[in-house]
Structure 1
Amino acid sequence: MSSVPPAVAGAQTPRGFRLDIQGIRGFALILVLAAHAEVPGFEGGFVALDLFFVLSGFLITGLILSEVEKTGRLSLRDFYARRARRLLPLAAAVLGVIAIVSAIMFATQRAQNVSDDVIAAALYFSNWHFIAQDLDYFAFKSATVSPVEHYWSLSVEEQFYLVWPLLVLGVTALTARLGLSHRRTLLAVLIVIGAASLAHSIQFSAENPRAAYLSTLTRVWQIVAGAILVIVLPAGLRLSKRVSTSLVAGGLAVLVATTVTYSSGGAYPGWKAIFPILATLAIIVGGTAVMSSAPTRLLSLPPFQYLGRISYSWYLWHWPALVFVAAEFGPLSWPQSVGVTLLAWVPSHITHHLIEERFRRSRSLAVRPRWALALGGGCTVTAVALALLILVVKPGLPLAPVEAVAGARAGVSAPIQTKATALRPAPQNANDDKGRLFDDGCLTMGKKRKSKSCVYGNPKSKTTVVMLGDSHALQYFPAMLRLAKKHDWRLVGLARASCLVGDVNYQPTCNAWRENTLRRIEKKEKPDLIVTTNSIDKRFRVIVGGTKLSRTASEPHLESGYSRTYRRLLRTGARLAVIRDQSPTPFDPAECVLKNQKKLDRCAFKPNRNAKLSFDYKAARNTSERIKIIDPLRVLCRGTGSKKRCPAVIGNALVYRDSEHLSATYARTLDDWLYKRLPKV
């Protein structure tokens, strides 16, 4: 789900300590913990993130302006020292524990990935790090999910803390020279920044939801909203109790409503984030005006106050607890996730008192800001050092020689391989074994709405074969490339990450890419054979009548949309083959292999492809008899019925590079098997 940075500037404002703001923090913690535990009805708990960004803008801007207006200056050293001693010791301690546990628990490939993630988190650029990886943050049940993913929002916070005082000081210095009101000028600057960020957020969330969700630039307007409120809110504002009650109760109601009705994986933050932002502003205004209204008293109750105090610590600990327990025992049900989250309270409570509060309240650090800054630097260096240690202590498997790798050529009748002394790809480097099309940048990503020209084999051949789909289609490209060279084909790769080729309303960028690609096939490529594959992942939820449907409700729309696309492809005169999506692994296959080198049968899993959500197969079966359906489970798995198992290693080839993609090495050995099943051209 979402990640939340609970450690905003405390509940201290220029008007004094705000019990209601501390309570809001506790309320938001409940939302995000429940969302991460997948408690029914809390899927939209990621709106808590918006709440915290508003609070950050409101509290930090208020404190900065108060200091500037009282003293005529702002000590950047003191400001950064306060942030360092409040945030960095606990954040670094949790990162250190994550690094150590990952080194013990995870095999080389995943441990190395976590090492990179820890370093990015320690240096507070993890949101950009995850954007570069094209992270699907909401796929948190993936077998390779990182225990550090929740730090991305802390990175946004730290980036804000770094830039914000400089912005305020710059505006203050400029207005002093020009004889202007610094508050009015700052307000104008913030309105421009906020409007630009909101516009970008709306556009980019529709174009690239994964990156938009993590981007600092799509979140700036949320922070700005809180900052603007500080400037425009009259210091002596006193609303009636009725108005105050309406604002706070209404704001809480909107937050609850968005939690219940919003779903993960859509275009967010975008315009939908406006509602929780306005709700948070209403709660702040209502609490500022009258502190005796019933909703404000509710937020001031001891349970909410305690949750607010411990929110930073509990937030930092709960996510790695969920990831590590799931890695050891398998996917968790939501009651089990709730249990793990509650158990995470133990280290949260302990470190809140021993680390967070001790450094935050330290008088020696308060009067010696240089010490606090040195402490922050030391914490960062320690976390990075522990992350680098993973790279030193984790051994790997040797790389098997090419001639020793049979892969799919070992035959479906071969028994499940139980031992390995060398494999290809080496498990510790499995994720790099993607194939030439990936290496050449032919998987369309980001804002791009057209695929680049990726033509292989014989460019002048009279026989054109098109590979069409998402990354699950490109995983077969190594085999198709062998066939293209052997049979003198012109081979074209057309694929976009996490997009659908079916005629459905999914995401604007994906929709545009699909139409551009289909027109290219019709007017330019004019292929003899089209081979298509698509993931049937649960994230594919279509929009009908302006509403994003659940994955189950999307299924009939996906099936009919794919039928329309298949008919359109058949009208080109090409022969059409649909390779069904394979079953994802319930664990990280490379990690399992490294842990079980002498008992590889432990890494053979039962396929769990959901027949009810197999729109690719159902559409192909029901559209035309001219469509050739190819099921990869027949070569990937052994046995039948309840005894069917899919090995992680076949013929000394590591079958999977991650939990849902074949390795290029293994895919390359599928050439003969695939050729026998493709329509002849």
Structure 2
Amino acid sequence: MSRLPGLDLLRAIAIVWVMLFHSYLVGGMGEFWQAGITHGWMGVDLFFVLSGYLIGGQLLKPLSQGLPLRPGDFYLRRAFRVLPAFLVVLAIYFTVPGFREAEGIQPLWQFLTFTLNLLIDYQHNKAFSHAWSLCVEEHFYLVFPWLAWWMTRRPSAAKFVGLCVAVVAMGLALRGYVWVYEMAPVRGLDDVERSFGRRFVEDIYYPTWMRLDGLLFGVVLATIQVYRPQLWSRLQRHANGLLIAGLAVVAVAIFLFQERTALLPTVIGYPLLSLGLALLVAAGASTRSWLGRWRVPGAGWIAVASYSLYLIHKPVFHLVETAFGAQLEGRGVVAFAVYAVATFAAGALLHYVIERPFLRLRDRWKAGTIRTGAAAVTQG
């Protein structure tokens, strides 16, 4: 499958947005970037929508053609994609303490079992905490193939819509319950981070069951594309309208999240944001849309290396600040350039030395599997 420029641009925006948000680790990047820093966490939600759309399509298309689910192939492909770079960065975190952007770190077994987002003590163990989103993705990879298989045994639009409504409603109810009964009682206490803010991260922002909206909306796009191709074609013909609508919905979500931990955005903000981002992804999937035709130099490479950049950017920020923080303080554009160059260099190193070789190995394994299967059919 050829790469779609619009989706590459969205992926590049997502990772740059996240990195800007995490620049708070080094005091930010100046007033010019403040809007990006404030709402850059939304880049993770954009990654979720993209993942739901792309992974959903990979699984649903063969199932829609009557082919059997091959979970072993799927999990092996995901392992080649996710584990090598992750394990390398994880090993550095645990063998080189100076690499960490914060002193405390959760036990190794929680990273290896992808349970970090469910068990983290955020007050004391912030190092490599951005791996929480990878945990959500891994849980999605684990469950969704079987859910897709079950849903496609007897495809039903009513059953699918009912499941989607149930997932969104569950998120609304759980986030509302936790906010009212766990967060509200400690709101206003002196130690905000230890009480209200920490509970928000640990009990609402990180847990998988609270953050399914983005993945769900991505899967909805994939389902329309696979099972309702005529509807998908009509949507693609109006991709620019989807783009405008998506930008409008995201703007409303940004306005709603001005007070990020308040009750209203906590309850309804995530599905609203995911809807807007899904509209952008639908527009980006069209090569005829403004988004799909917009060629931004370097966006394709950033998209390809986005996973490595995500894994490595926080410790790189920390290392640069440790070495040159005093000289870069208050230097605006120069500081931004130094942090950016260091991060992209480290991301490129991780991508080309670790990530890409394993992706090539995966492709060779896949090609060999196909040849073996074809030979078996011929001989049979």
Q: If the TM-score is normalised by the length of the shorter chain, which range does it land in?
A: 0.7 to 0.9
Contact 1:201 1:219 (C-alpha < 8 Å) held by counterparts: no
SS at match of 2:209: coil
1:293 corresponds to 2:271: no
Amino acid at match of 1:160: F
Q: Distance in 2 between matches of 1:338 and 1:194?
A: 41
After TM superposition, give the deviation of residue 314 of structure 1 in Å: 0.8
3-state DSSP of counterpart to 2:109: helix
Evaluate the alpha carbon distance shift between residue 322 and residue 52 of structure 1 in structure 2; reply closer, same or farther with a 3 A threshold.
same
C-alpha contact (below 8 Å) 1:57/1:223 kept by paired residues? yes
Selected match of 2:134 from 140, 143, 154: 154
Amino acid at match of 1:69: S
Aligned ranges for residues 357-506 of structure 1 at < 5 Å? Answer: 357-362=356-361, 363-366=363-366
Judging by fraction of residues, say which structure has more strand.
1
**Which residue identity does 1:100 align to in structure 2?**
T
In structure 2, the CA distance between the partners of 1:75 and 1:246, relative to structure 1 (3 Å rule), is: same
Instruction: Quote the offset at 1:74 in angstroms.
Output: 0.9
Asked if residue 209 in structure 1 is aligned to residue 200 in structure 2, the reply is yes
CA contact (8 A) 1:35 1:45 kept: yes
**Corresponding position: 1:230 with 2:225:** no
Contact 2:10 2:284 in 1 (8 A): no
Q: Is the 8 A contact 1:34 1:338 kept in 2?
A: no
Task: Decide which structure has greater helix share.
Answer: 2
Match of 1:72 among 61, 67, 70: 67
Q: Structure 1 pair 282/348, CA: closer, same or farther in 2 (3 Å)?
A: same
Q: Which of 200, 204, 227 does residue 174 from structure 2 map onto?
A: 200
Structure 2 unpaired stretches of 5+: 184-198, 370-380
Q: Which residue in the other structure is 1:167 paired with?
A: 147
Q: Secondary structure at the match of 1:124?
A: coil
Return closer, same or farther for 1:329/1:225 CA change in 2, 3 Å cut-off.
Answer: same
How much identity, in percent, do the aligned residues show?
24
Q: In structure 2, how many angstroms separate the alpha carbons of the residues matched to 1:215 and 1:287? A: 28
Counterpart selection for 1:304 from 294, 299, 315: 299
Match of 1:98 in 2: 93
Q: Deviations over 1:507-540 (max 9, x none)?
A: xxxxxxxxxxxxxxxxxxxxxxxxxxxxxxxxxx
- Contact 1:249 1:295 (8 Å CA) reproduced: no
**Within 5 Å, which residues of 2 pair with 1:112-261?**
113-114=104-105, 116-130=106-120, 133=121, 135=122, 146-173=126-153, 175=154, 181-182=155-156, 184-205=158-179, 207=183, 208-210=199-201, 211-233=203-225, 234-236=228-230, 237-239=232-234, 243-252=238-247, 254-255=249-250
Q: 1:338/1:204 Cα in 2 relative to 1: closer, same or farther (>3 Å)?
A: farther
- Which of 47, 54, 61 is 1:59 aligned to? 54
Q: Distance in 1 between matches of 2:40 and 2:267?
A: 16
Q: Is 1:248–1:296's contact at 8 Å kept on the other side of the alignment?
A: no
**1:273-292 superposed matches below 5 A:** 273-288=270-285, 290-292=286-288
Specify the code of the residue in structure 2 equivalent to 1:192: A
Q: Is the 8 A contact 2:5 2:287 kept in 1?
A: no
Aligned-residue offset at 1:261? 7.6
The answer to whether the 8 A contact 1:58-1:223 is kept is yes
Give the Cα–Cα distance (whole angstroms) in 2 for the partners of residues 147 and 324 of structure 1. 13
- 1:579-590 equivalences under 5 Å are none
The separation in 2 between residues aligned to 1:358 and 1:164, in whole angstroms, is 27
1:242 and 1:71 map into 2 onto residues whose CA distance is 28
**Shift in alpha-carbon separation, 1:303–1:256, aligned structure 2, 3 A:** farther
Matches within 5 A, 1:331-346: 335=332, 336=335, 339-346=338-345
Q: How does 1:527-566 map to 2 (within 5 A)?
A: none
How far does residue 338 in structure 1 lie from its aligned partner after superposition? 6.3
Post-superposition offset of 1:324: 4.2
TM-score by length of 2: 0.76
1:44 and 1:264 in contact (8 A); partners too: no
Evaluate the alpha carbon distance shift between residue 340 and residue 354 of structure 1 in structure 2; reply closer, same or farther with a 3 A threshold. Answer: same
Partners of 1:240 and 1:55 in 2: CA distance: 17
Q: Could you list the per-position Cα deviations for residues 604-639 of structure 1 after superposition, in whole angstroms to 9, with x for gaps in the alignment?
A: xxxxxxxxxxxxxxxxxxxxxxxxxxxxxxxxxxxx
- The higher radius of gyration belongs to 1
5+ residue gaps, structure 1, are 1-11, 137-143, 176-180, 370-681
Residues 1:249 and 1:54: Cα distance change in structure 2 (over 3 Å): same
Q: Which structure would you say has the larger RCO, counting Cα contacts within 8 Å and 6 or more residues apart?
A: 2
Question: Structure 2 vs 1, CA of residues 259 and 117 (structure 1 numbering), >3 Å: closer, same or farther?
Answer: farther
Relative to structure 1, is the Cα distance of residues 316 and 205 closer, same or farther in structure 2, using a 3 angstrom cutoff? farther
CA-to-partner distance for each residue in 1:24-55, whole Å, 9 max, x for gaps?
11111121111111341221111112211122
The verdict on how the C-alpha distance between 1:343 and 1:325 changes in structure 2, with shifts beyond 3 A counting, is: closer
Q: Are 1:314 and 2:309 matched, yes or no?
A: yes
SS in 2 for 1:344: helix
